Every structure is written in structure tokens, then in C-alpha cells.
């Protein structure tokens, strides 16, 4: 079954003069009481504008920050509502609670084409508990339900699961549908060869995905600090590189599984390393301590060096093999860049993937940032920051919020 099968489109709904509950993910960073990065808000604007123009009475709901606990209140969505009003160019009403009489009054008074934002869903413990009582209180505010939070598709909370089951008219938002359409081919019938480029820091965090991919894909290209653990498991001396020493048996097991399944598992042949002191390796380097970055073979990592990135020979080897790909899924950085910028290896990998005439998808903030930095966004079929649901798909898990949308 394709990801989008039996899920209604936004355009198929009759929304004029109806209350449309839109679950978004506006869990954005705040800086000095204002929205710092409004990317997630902007991504939802096409859906919100469509509903506004169609004469719907739009009820927006999201969480922000951690759930409230004893003695601590949930963060207010006031900065979110203010930024949304600026982007939409119209007034946005913020309720003083996510449900209850006050929220019902605000929603009842909404006119066609206007929008209200419910206060932080995490102000009510029922949200995280997927509580039916809280879901029913939200359902009183909705004639139709639209999910525009693919980033949370793997979760089961009241607004994502129980509520959607209570509202018979439901659909995917425009961005949600775009994600499903782009990712669908990798879960059903990807064009072959199907390669996955997998980066990151910890092998333990990617093990489930790697094991799920073994036997399903034609090759897995590894990068990032997780390769240090894999290389150490193959007997390489990794100097002061970050690795999970207690996960060496896990790494050997992954290598054995891939070999048995005849799934090609590619590891770096060279690394970009930084000569450093023990203090620097632990992340406490001072400005007075010099460092030297150089490229070395994985067979000759100096004892005082820490791996930071894949090297140019590795990029070229990966590029050569990826050129004939039918599908490429890239998830995770190839290394650590300076001052939060994409690593050199990640940018080079973006160029390498862009050269292939493949259905290419970049997943995760770091991968997407590297694609933008390389200036090759147009060469990728899709880019998404929604790492968690894609990881769930790779591991064979069901996306609850997707299943509940099926009519």
C-alpha cells in the first residue's frame, strides 16, 4: 500500500463556513520572546491560506516546548500567534487554554476565512497521554480535521491520534501530502539500484535502520562519527576519534548481517582529522590551543587526531558508485562542520548525489543544510527535516498519524 492510499486530499473537503481543526508542528525556537526560526510556520502557510480563501473557520493547534509538569507551566504560544499573524497579514486570535469554555467561545465566534490558535496543547496532560477525554474536548471545536505535521507522524498523542478518529471528515495538509508523495516510492517500489547514504554520530541510534535496510537496499554508504565505531570494529586504530567503545560487538554484528545478506556496506577510506589535545577532543578547546586539520587514511589515524569528516577519496569513491543509482535516500551528516556550518564532506556528498539521475531525497536538518549550501536543491526530488518519521519508515514501523487519516 502506498503511503498516501485512501487519504483524502485537502482539495476534496467542503470547508466553507466549517470549523477546520489543523494540527501543525510549530514547535519552533524562541529567541528573546520571539520566533527565531519560522521555517515550520512558513511550510504550513499554503494549507492555511487555502482554507482561509475557501471560507473555512480555521482552528490551529500545536505544542511548544516540553509538556507542563507539577510546578511548571507550559510555554505560551503568543509569539507563535504573533508571527503567524504577520505572515498571513491578518489578525489571529489566541485562546487562553487549549480546550474548555474559553476556547469554544473563541472558535464559536470565528467568522468565515478567519483563524484562531489554541493555546499550547501540552498545557493539558491529556495531550501526551493520548487521552480520550481531552480528545473529545478538542473534537467539539472541529467539523473537519487536517494534519499538517508530518514531523510528528510517528507519534500517538491526543491531537494526532484520538482526536482524528473522532472527526469523520479528515485529510492531509498540502505539505503533509507532499511528504507522503515523495517518500512513498522508497517504501513500495523504489527505482533500482536503491542506495542509502547514512550519517550521524552514534551507531546505536542508527542500528535499527541499518538492520532494517539490510537485504532491502542495494548499498549503504556510511559517514559521520558512527563510522569510527564501525572502523574500530574492523580493527582500525581511531586515535582520539569519538566512538562508542561499548558498541563494538554491535558493529561487528551489523557487518556480519550485511555480509550474510550480500548487502554492500561502504565505509570511509580516508578521514579529515584534527590534531588535538585530550582537552580539545572532549569539546573544551580554548582559543589559545592550535589545531591542524589534515586528511589521513583510515589505516593511519594518528594517536593525537580525532576524525571530523569523511575525506575526499571517500567522497569520490561514493560518488562513482552512486552515479548509477535509481533511488538515493540521504539521512544524516558526513561529519562535523565549523561554527554550525555543514561539513566539507557533507557539501561534497550533496554535489555527488546531485550528479546522479536518481530519485534523490535529503532527510534531516544537516543533510538539507548541506544541499542548500552546495546550491543543488533543484537536483533533489525532495528535502525534508522530518527525520523521526523517515527513520520509523526505514525501520518498518507504522506511522500512526498517517494510518488514522485513511478513510
Residue 69 sits in a domain whose CATH number is 3.40.50.1260
329-342, pLDDT tens digit by residue? 999 999 998 887 89
Which pLDDT score, from 0 to 100, does residue 1 have?
65
Which pLDDT score, from 0 to 100, does residue 4 have?
86
114-159, pLDDT tens digit by residue? 999 999 999 999 999 999 999 999 999 999 999 999 999 999 999 9
Mean pLDDT of 341-362: 95
The answer to whether position 232 is within a domain reads yes
Which pLDDT score, from 0 to 100, does residue 289 have?
47
Question: Mean pLDDT over all residues of the chain?
Answer: 93
Task: Identify whether residues 199 and 273 lie together within a single domain.
Answer: yes
How far separated are the first and last CA of the chain, in Å rounded? 14
157-170, pLDDT tens digit by residue? 999 999 999 999 99
Task: Identify whether residues 66 and 195 lie together within a single domain.
Answer: no
Which pLDDT score, from 0 to 100, does residue 70 have?
62
Residues 218-256, buried b or exposed e (16+ Cβ, 10 A)? bbbbbbbbbbbbbbbbeebebbbbbbbeebbebbeebee
The answer to whether position 381 is within a domain reads no
In this predicted structure, the answer to whether residue 286 has a pLDDT above a threshold of 60 is no
The answer to whether position 397 is within a domain reads no
195-224, pLDDT tens digit by residue? 999 999 999 999 999 999 999 999 999 999
10 in Cβ contact with 173 (< 8 Å): yes
Query: Is residue 132 classed exposed, middle or buried when 0-12, 13-18 and 19+ CB atoms within 10 A define those classes?
Result: middle
The answer to whether position 400 is within a domain reads no
265-285, pLDDT tens digit by residue? 999 999 999 987 545 444 445
How far is Cα 110 from Cα 233, in angstroms, rounded to an integer? 62
Most confident residue range from 65-74, 184-193, 260-269: 260-269
Which pLDDT score, from 0 to 100, does residue 35 have?
94
Alpha carbons within 13 A on the beta-carbon side of 21? 30
Q: Which domain holds residue 252?
A: 190-375
Which pLDDT score, from 0 to 100, does residue 66 have?
87
Task: Identify whether residues 333 and 359 lie together within a single domain.
Answer: yes
β-sheet bridge partners, residue 171: 146
Q: How many domains does the chain have?
A: 2
Final residue of a structural domain among 131, 151, 180: 180
The answer to whether position 98 is within a domain reads yes
22-79, pLDDT tens digit by residue? 999 999 999 999 999 999 999 999 999 999 999 999 999 999 998 877 667 889 999 9
Amino acid at each position: 500500500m502506498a503511503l498516501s492510499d485512501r487519504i483524502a486530499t485537502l482539495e476534496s473537503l467542503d470547508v466553507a463556513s466549517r470549523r477546520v481543526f489543523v494540527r501543525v508542528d510549530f514547535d519552533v525556537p524562541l529567541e528573546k520572546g520571539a520566533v527565531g526560526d519560522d521555517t515550520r510556520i512558513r511550510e504550513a502557510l499554503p494549507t492555511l491560506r487555502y482554507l482561509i480563501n475557501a471560507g473555512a473557520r480555521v482552528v490551529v493547534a500545536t505544542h511548544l516546548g516540553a509538556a507542563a509538569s507539577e510546578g511548571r507551566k507550559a510555554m505560551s504560544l503568543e509569539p507563535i500567534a504573533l508571527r503567524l499573524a504577520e505572515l498571513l497579514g491578518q489578525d489571529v486570535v489566541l485562546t487562553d487554554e487549549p480546550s474548555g469554555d474559553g476556547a469554544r467561545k473563541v472558535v464559536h465566534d470565528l467568522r468565515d476565512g478567519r483563524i484562531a490558535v489554541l493555546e499550547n496543547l501540552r498545557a493539558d496532560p491529556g495531550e501526551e497521554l493520548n487521552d480520550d477525554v481531552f480528545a473529545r474536548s478538542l473534537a467539539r471545536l472541529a467539523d473537519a480535521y487536517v494534519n499538517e505535521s508530518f514531523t510528528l507522524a510517528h507519534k500517538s498523542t491526543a491531537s494526532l491520534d484520538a482526536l482524528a478518529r473522532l472527526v469523520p471528515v479528515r485529510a492531509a495538509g498540502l505539505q503533509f501530502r507532499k511528504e507522503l508523495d515523495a517518500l512513498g516510492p522508497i517504501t513500495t517500489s523504489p527505482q533500482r539500484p536503491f542506495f542509502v547514504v547514512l550519517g550521524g554520530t552514534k551507531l546505536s541510534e542508527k542500528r535499527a535502520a541499518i538492520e532494517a535496510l539490510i537485504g532491502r537496499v542495494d548499498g549503504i554508504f556510511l559517514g559521520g562519527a558512527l563510522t569510527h565505531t564501525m572502523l574500530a570494529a574492523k580493527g582500525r586504530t581511531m586515535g582520539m576519534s569519538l566512538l562508542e567503545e561499548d558498541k563494538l560487538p554491535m558493529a561487528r554484528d551489523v557487518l556480519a548481517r550485511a555480509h550474510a545478506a550480500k548487502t554492500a556496506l561502504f565505509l570511509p577510506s580516508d578521514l579529515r582529522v584534527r590534531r588535538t589535545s585530550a582537552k580539545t577532543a572532549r569539546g573544551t578547546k580554548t582559543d589559545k590551543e592550535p589545531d591542524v586539520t589534515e586528511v589521513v587514511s583510515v589505516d593511519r589515524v594518528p594517536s593525537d587526531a580525532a576524525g571530523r569528516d569523511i575525506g575526499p577519496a571517500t567522497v569520490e569513491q561514493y560518488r562513482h558508485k552512486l552515479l548509477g543509482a535509481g533511488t538515493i535516500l540521504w539521512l544524516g551528516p558526513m561529519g562535523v562542520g565549523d561554527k554550525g556550518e555543514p561539513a566539507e564532506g557533507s557539501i561534497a556528498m550533496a554535489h555527488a548525489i546531485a550528479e546522479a539521475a536518481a530519485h534523490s531525497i535529503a532527510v534531516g536538518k544537516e543533510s538539507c543544510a548541506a544541499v542548500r549550501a552546495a546550491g543543488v536543491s533543484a537536483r533533489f526530488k525532495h528535502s525534508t527535516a522530518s527525520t523521526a518519521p523517515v527513520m520509523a519508515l526505514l525501520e518498518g514501523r507504522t506511522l500512526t498519524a498517517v494510518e488514522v487519516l485513511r478513510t
